[in-house]
């Protein structure tokens, strides 16, 4: 596979991490603002932030952006 093909496949996979992180954080915000416990919503937002942090680590590791 060429580097461009690998990049295109990795973009598709990493895009799912990005969507998943924002959906989890959005659900946490909804939980915090609705009648549910604020603490439960904060835990969802933290989990979403961890998913997004994992997204950043994978990008840096895979594409060596920090060179």
Q: Is the pTM of this model over 0.75?
A: no
Give the three-class secondary structure for 65: coil
Residue 31: predicted pLDDT: 86
Q: Are 18 and 48 in contact (CB under 8 A)?
A: no
Stated length of the chain: 67
Helices assigned H by DSSP within the chain? 3-33, 38-63
Q: What's the pLDDT tens digit per position in 7-65?
A: 788 788 878 878 888 898 988 888 888 876 788 888 989 999 998 898 888 777 877 65
Residue 65: predicted pLDDT: 55
pLDDT score of 66 more than 70: no
């Amino acid at each position: 596979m060429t580097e461009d093909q690998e990049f295109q496949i990795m973009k598709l996979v990493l895009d799912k991490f990005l969507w998943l992180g924002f959906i989890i954080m959005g659900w946490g915000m909804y939980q915090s603002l609705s009648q549910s416990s604020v603490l439960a919503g904060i835990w969802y937002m933290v989990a979403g932030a961890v998913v997004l942090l994992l997204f950043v680590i994978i990008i840096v590791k895979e594409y060596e952006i920090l060179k």
